[in-house]
Copies of this chain bind each other. A is one copy, B any other.
Amino acid sequence: MPRLDDAAIARALEELAGWEREGDALVREFRLKNFREAMAFVNEVAEVAEELRHHPDIAIRYNRVRLALTTHDAGGVTERDLELARRIDALVRQAR
């Protein structure tokens, strides 16, 4: 799975509202209603991650969840990260 170049990442981000590039990762912060809702969201993300066998870095601070996607083996952002970002966005559209 090859690392995407800067132009490819920039193009992909046009379709991924809310996501930003931060070095070798794509990051997005989600604000939920409270801690319980934040945990519910993280558990949904975790199910998708297990299905795709690709796991985001997750930071939870009460009602805020920050996800960072990168492909460590490739040393940057790959199509696997874009797929995971799209699946996470689909969760958000379904539920909220």
Contact = CB atoms under 8 A, between A and B. Distances in A.
Given A43-B43, A50-B35, A57 B59 contact: yes
A46 interface: yes
B62 A55 contact: yes
Nearest to A53: B35
A60 interface: yes
A35 B61 contact: no
A43 B49 contact: no
Interface string A40-63: 001100100110000101111110
A32 interface: no
Interface of A: 35-36, 39, 42-43, 46, 49-50, 55, 57-62
